[in-house]
Chain A
C-alpha cells in the first residue's frame, strides 16, 4: 500500500478534504494534520516537495490557495506521487472548471467520488481522466 492519506488544506491550514487509507482515531488525525500542515506550509517555493514526518513521507504541492498533501510510505516513488497530485488537480479542473477551495467544500462528496475512482486502498486505480470522470458524468447526466 503506497498512499496512506490524501489531504487538501487551504492556506490557513484548514482541512478541506481528508481521505485516510489506514485507521487513525479522530484525535490522531487532528494532531497529525496539525503537525503536517505546520511543517509543510512553513516551507517556501524553492524547497523540495517532500517532507518526512514520523513514519510518513509527505509529498505536497500547492495550487493557488490550496495545498494537496499526500502521505506515502517510504518505498513510494515521490516524483510519481507529485505527478499523481497534478493528475488529480487536472481531473478536478476538468469537472469543476478551474477547481477552487469552494468547489471542493460545496461538493465534497463529488471530490470524494473522483478520488474513489483514482485511488483505492492506497493504490492508484486509474490514470485516465476520461475513465475517472465517466461514472460521475453519467450520474450528473442522469440527474
Chain B
C-alpha cells in the first residue's frame, strides 16, 4: 500500500480508471486514479512498475496530468515569456524565488522536483539560485531514479566545483557509482565528469577505473570521459588509466571508441611515457579502425550524409596526428590510410569536408611524406576557392598552420588570401589578416603593405583597429629603410590615427629622431598631414612634437629631399597648427601637454613669435587640469624671466636610443609600476625635453602638494626619456628601465612621516643615466620631514626646491664638473641637520661614497645617536662606524659617518633607493 505522491512531472494524459472525490485514497499497486477537486481533475496518476531489463526497481507513482506540477512550471514560463521588460521579468522571478525559498525551508518533498526545474530555468536567465543547492543534494540522496536524475542535473547546472557544498555530494556519488542500476551509475559518472573537483577525483578514481570494465558499453564510455576529468584534476593518477585505455581502444562500440580515443589523447599530452606507449602499442590498431571506418558498408546508426561516423573518423585522425608527430615510423604506418581518407572522402557535404579538413591537418603535422603533402595542398587549394564561406574560413585556418611546414605552397595563394582580407565577412577578414601578417617577408613587404594601407581607407570602422595594428607591426618589423617607414606610418596615422596604440606613435617618434637626415622632410610631411587629417589624434601628437623639435627646419625648408615639393610655411603658420591643436576640444591631456612643450620650444626657435606664444601659453594657466596649469605657469616663467637660459633649455632632443626602446617594448626590461597616486602625471612620452637641461624638469618638483612631489620625481625621469612609454614610477622603489650611461642623479623624496613616530625620512636616490648627453648630475631635494619638530616638517627644503628662482640661472647646475657632486642637505630641522657629501672614484662608477655629517642644533646633548639606512636589493650598502655616538648640542661638534653604496646594476637600468634614516635621541 502506497500513498500517492507527486514525484515526476509529465504532461501525458493517462487513462482515467476511476474518479475519487476529494480524498486521497490508499491505492493498491498497479491501479490508476484521478483526484478531482471541485469538479476539476487535479491529479491524474497511476502507479506503475518501473524496471529495466535486469531487475525490478521500485514502484514509482507519477503525476501524469499537467494541472498541478506542470501548471506551475508552465505558468512560470508563460509569465516570464509574457514579460515585456526586464523589470517585469525580475519581478516574476523574484516572486517565484520567494515561493521556492518557502518550499525549501518547509522541506517540501513533494514539490522539490518541480522547484528544481524552475530553478534551472531561473538560473539560465541569469539569476542567483544558490538557495536551491541543498535541494539538489537532497534530491540526489533520494532512492528513486527520477529524483536522482533531476538532482544530478541540478547539481551540474546550479553548482560548480568551487563550492564547498560539493564536498557533501561525494558520498552519494560513491554510492551511486556502485549502484546495481546502470542508469544510476551513468548519472553519477556524468555528474562526476562534469563537475568533479580535485578532492573528489582522488576519492572516486578507483570506482571510475573499475567502471572502465563495466559490462554495459554505455557506462564504459562515460567512465572514459570521466577519467579525462580525473587526470586533468589529478595528473599523477594518469598512469593508472594507461592500460585500461589500451584495451578500450580495441572495442567495436563507437561511443566507447570515441571516448577512449579522447582519453588516450589526453593521456598523451599529460605524459611523454604514455605517448610512447600508445605509439608503440596502439598506432597499428587505430590505423586499422580508421581503415574499417573509411571502407565500412552503410551503417544507418552512425551514418551522416553517406559518411560513416565522421565524428569517430575525426577523432581518429586527430589521435594519429599526435602519435605521428615527430616519429617517422608511426607516420609511415599511417601513410596509406591517410591517402585513402584524402582521396575517398566526398567533399560535397559538410561532414566530408570536416574529415578532409582534419586529414589535411594531420598530413601537415606528421613526418614528411612528399606525396601526401601534395595531396593535402591540393585539397587546400580546392577549399580556398570554394564558394562556401565556412570552407574558406577553415582553409585559411589550415594555411596558418601549414605556413611553418611549407611556406612556398602558402605563398602561392597570396593573391587569394589578400582578397579574403577584403571580404565582407568579419571572421574571414580577421583570419586572412593574420595569415597575411605571417606571409609578409622582406621581398614582398612593399606591395603587401601598399595593398593593406589602400584597403585601410575603405575598411569598416571596427576592423580598422586590427588592421592598423597589423600594418604597423609589419612596417616596424620589416621596413627596409627609414624613409619608407616614415612614409607608411604617416599614411597609416592619417587614415586611422585614432585607432593606433600609443606604442606605435612613440615608436615613430623614436625612428624620426634617429633619422637625422630626414628631420626636415618628416616635419614638412607632418605639416601637410595635419592639414588634411587633423582629426586623427596620433597625427596631431606626432606633428606637434616634430614641429616643436624641428620647427626651424619646417620654416626654412632645410634638408629638402629630391622628391619633395617645397612649401612655404611661416613661423606664424607653424604656431597656428599648435594653437589649433591645443584649443581643439577633442585633444586630450597628453596632446595639450605636448602642445605646451612644443610652444615653449618654438618660443626659442621663433623669437619673433615669442609674445604670441606667451599669450597662448598663458591661456592654459587657468586650466582645471593640474598638469596643464602647472606646465603653463612654469613655461611662462621661463619665457618671461629666463631668456638667457631658455635656448639651452629647449635645445633639440638627443637621439633616442632605438635599442632601448624596442627592448622595452618587447618586455625585456621590467615593467614600470604606476604611481601610487595614479594621477594625471602619467603621460607616456611626457613632453620632449632636452636631456642637457634636466633643470626644466626640476620645475615639476616645485609643486606644493606633497602628493605631487612624490610622483614628480619619477615623472621627471620619465620626461627625460622623451619618446618613451614609461608611465610614472611608484614610490615604492621599483626598478625602472633606463638608458645606459654614467651619471648619477639623486632625488630625495619625502614621505612626510607623522610626528608621533620616531621619524623617518625616506630618501630616494634615483640614479639616472643617459647615453652621453647628461653631463650633469642633479640632486633634487623635495622636502624633508622632521622627526621631532612637527612644524618644520616640509619647509626646510623649499628653498632648495625652487631651484630655478632660488639659485638663479647660472648657479643652478654644476654643468661641467661631471664627477663632482654638490653636498646634499638630506635633513634639516631646528634640532638636527644631516648633510651628505658624495664622491665617486674614477674607474668604478658603480661605487658611491657618501659621507654623512650630523650636526645637533638644539641645546640638548644627543646620546646613543644611531644612523640607519636601507637600500633595495640591487644596491649594496656598507655603513662604516660613526665617529661618535654622542652629539653635543648648540651646533658645536658633529658626527660623521661614511656610507659606501655599490650599485650592482650600474649602467643597466634606472635605480632607485629608498634609504631611511632614523635617529634616536635623548
Q: A residues touching B (Cβ–Cβ < 8 Å)?
A: 1, 15-19, 21, 23, 26, 29-30, 33, 43, 46-52, 77-80, 82-84, 86-87, 105-106, 108-109, 112-113, 116, 120-121, 123-128, 130-131, 135, 138-140, 142-143
Taking CB atoms, residues of chain A closer than 8 Å to B186 are 135
Give CA–CA (A4, B810) in the complex, Å.
69
Taking CB atoms, residues of chain B closer than 8 Å to A51 are 426-427
B350 located at the interface, meaning its Cβ lies under 8 Å from any Cβ of chain A in the complex = yes
Partner among B64, B258, B358, B427 whose Cβ is within 8 Å of the Cβ of A77: B358
A108 touches B117 (CB 8 A): yes
Total A-B Cβ pairs within 8 A: 168
Q: Count chain A CB atoms within 10 A of each CB in B221, B424, B427 and give the residue with the most.
A: B427
Partner among A17, A21, A48, A135 whose Cβ is within 8 Å of the Cβ of B427: A48
A48 touches B428 (CB 8 A): yes
B350 touches A125 (CB 8 A): no
B258 touches A113 (CB 8 A): no
B149 touches A139 (CB 8 A): yes
B350 touches A50 (CB 8 A): no
Taking CB atoms, residues of chain A closer than 8 Å to B10 are 140, 143
Give CA–CA (A125, B736) in the complex, Å.
53
Given the contacts A84-B311, A108-B120, A108-B121, A79 and B190 also touching, CB distance less than 8 Å: no
B147 located at the interface, meaning its Cβ lies under 8 Å from any Cβ of chain A in the complex = no
Which positions 396-449 of chain B face chain A at CB distance < 8 Å? 397, 424-428, 430
Partner among B145, B228, B309, B392 whose Cβ is within 8 Å of the Cβ of A48: B392
Taking CB atoms, residues of chain B closer than 8 Å to A48 are 389-390, 392-393, 425, 427-428
A79 touches B126 (CB 8 A): no
Taking CB atoms, residues of chain A closer than 8 Å to B8 are 143
Partner among A21, A43, A82, A121 whose Cβ is within 8 Å of the Cβ of B390: A82
Given the contacts A15-B125, A108-B120, A139-B146, A130 and B301 also touching, CB distance less than 8 Å: yes
11 contacts between A and B (CB under 8 A): A26-B127, A47-B424, A47-B425, A48-B425, A78-B390, A83-B354, A86-B350, A106-B74, A109-B150, A120-B194, A125-B255
B310 touches A113 (CB 8 A): no
Give CA–CA (A124, B313) in the complex, Å.
13
Give CA–CA (A29, B232) in the complex, Å.
24
A-contact bits for B107-132, CB 8 A (1 contact / 0 none): 00000000001001101111110000
Partner among B50, B120, B157, B350 whose Cβ is within 8 Å of the Cβ of A142: B50
Main secondary structure of the interface of B (DSSP, over half): helix
Give CA–CA (A83, B393) in the complex, Å.
16
Taking CB atoms, residues of chain B closer than 8 Å to A105 are 77, 81, 121
Give CA–CA (A79, B51) in the complex, Å.
40
A112 touches B258 (CB 8 A): no
B62 located at the interface, meaning its Cβ lies under 8 Å from any Cβ of chain A in the complex = yes
Give CA–CA (A14, B277) in the complex, Å.
49
Give CA–CA (A125, B222) in the complex, Å.
7
Given the contacts A47-B389, A52-B430, A128 and B425 also touching, CB distance less than 8 Å: no
Give CA–CA (A131, B12) in the complex, Å.
23
Which positions 173-210 of chain B face chain A at CB distance < 8 Å? 183, 186, 190, 193-194
A-B contact sample (14 more), CB < 8 A, given A48-B425, A105-B121 = A47-B425, A78-B390, A78-B393, A78-B397, A79-B390, A80-B354, A83-B304, A83-B310, A120-B194, A125-B221, A127-B302, A128-B254, A128-B301, A143-B8
B64 touches A143 (CB 8 A): yes
B258 touches A127 (CB 8 A): yes
Partner among A47, A78, A124, A143 whose Cβ is within 8 Å of the Cβ of B394: A78
A116 touches B64 (CB 8 A): no
Give CA–CA (A22, B796) in the complex, Å.
61
Give CA–CA (A68, B128) in the complex, Å.
24
Smallest Cβ-Cβ distance to B253: which chain A residue: A131
Smallest Cβ-Cβ distance to B113: which chain A residue: A109
B161 located at the interface, meaning its Cβ lies under 8 Å from any Cβ of chain A in the complex = yes
Smallest Cβ-Cβ distance to A128: which chain B residue: B301
A110 to chain B, nearest CB (A): 10
B357 located at the interface, meaning its Cβ lies under 8 Å from any Cβ of chain A in the complex = yes
**Band of interface residues on B:** 35 or more
The 5 A-B pairs at the shortest CB distance, nearest first, are namely A79-B354, A48-B389, A47-B425, A30-B126, A142-B50
Given the contacts A84-B311, A120-B193, A50 and B77 also touching, CB distance less than 8 Å: no
Partner among B126, B146, B222 whose Cβ is within 8 Å of the Cβ of A120: B222
Q: Count chain B CB atoms within 10 A of each CB in A1, A79, A84 and give the residue with the most.
A: A79
Give CA–CA (A21, B194) in the complex, Å.
7
Taking CB atoms, residues of chain B closer than 8 Å to A125 are 221-222, 225, 255, 258-259
Taking CB atoms, residues of chain B closer than 8 Å to A47 are 389, 424-428
B258 touches A108 (CB 8 A): no
Taking CB atoms, residues of chain A closer than 8 Å to B183 are 135, 138
Given the contacts A78-B394, A116-B190, A128-B301, A121 and B228 also touching, CB distance less than 8 Å: yes
A50 touches B302 (CB 8 A): no
Given the contacts A113-B153, A143-B8, A18 and B62 also touching, CB distance less than 8 Å: no
Q: Count chain B CB atoms within 10 A of each CB in A82, A87, A124 and give the residue with the most.
A: A124
A47 to chain B, nearest CB (A): 4
A50 touches B222 (CB 8 A): no
Give CA–CA (A21, B424) in the complex, Å.
33
Taking CB atoms, residues of chain A closer than 8 Å to B309 are 127
B117 touches A109 (CB 8 A): yes
B594 located at the interface, meaning its Cβ lies under 8 Å from any Cβ of chain A in the complex = no
Partner among A19, A29, A30, A121 whose Cβ is within 8 Å of the Cβ of B225: A121
Given the contacts A113-B153, A121-B228, A131-B255, A126 and B120 also touching, CB distance less than 8 Å: no
Give CA–CA (A33, B314) in the complex, Å.
29
A-contact bits for B276-317, CB 8 A (1 contact / 0 none): 000000000000000000000000011010000111101000
Give CA–CA (A106, B81) in the complex, Å.
11
Given the contacts A48-B425, A109-B150, A138-B52, A143 and B390 also touching, CB distance less than 8 Å: no
B60 located at the interface, meaning its Cβ lies under 8 Å from any Cβ of chain A in the complex = yes
Give CA–CA (A48, B393) in the complex, Å.
7
B96 to chain A, nearest CB (A): 14
Give CA–CA (A29, B126) in the complex, Å.
8
Give CA–CA (A50, B389) in the complex, Å.
9
Partner among A43, A49, A112 whose Cβ is within 8 Å of the Cβ of B157: A112
Taking CB atoms, residues of chain A closer than 8 Å to B357 are 77, 79
Partner among B124, B259, B302, B314 whose Cβ is within 8 Å of the Cβ of A18: B124
Given the contacts A48-B428, A143-B8, A109 and B301 also touching, CB distance less than 8 Å: no
B262 located at the interface, meaning its Cβ lies under 8 Å from any Cβ of chain A in the complex = yes
Give CA–CA (A47, B8) in the complex, Å.
44
Which positions 60-107 of chain B face chain A at CB distance < 8 Å? 60, 62, 64, 73-74, 77, 81
B225 touches A120 (CB 8 A): yes
A79 touches B121 (CB 8 A): no
A143 touches B146 (CB 8 A): yes
Taking CB atoms, residues of chain B closer than 8 Å to A33 are 126
B351 located at the interface, meaning its Cβ lies under 8 Å from any Cβ of chain A in the complex = yes
Smallest Cβ-Cβ distance to A8: which chain B residue: B124
A82 touches B350 (CB 8 A): yes
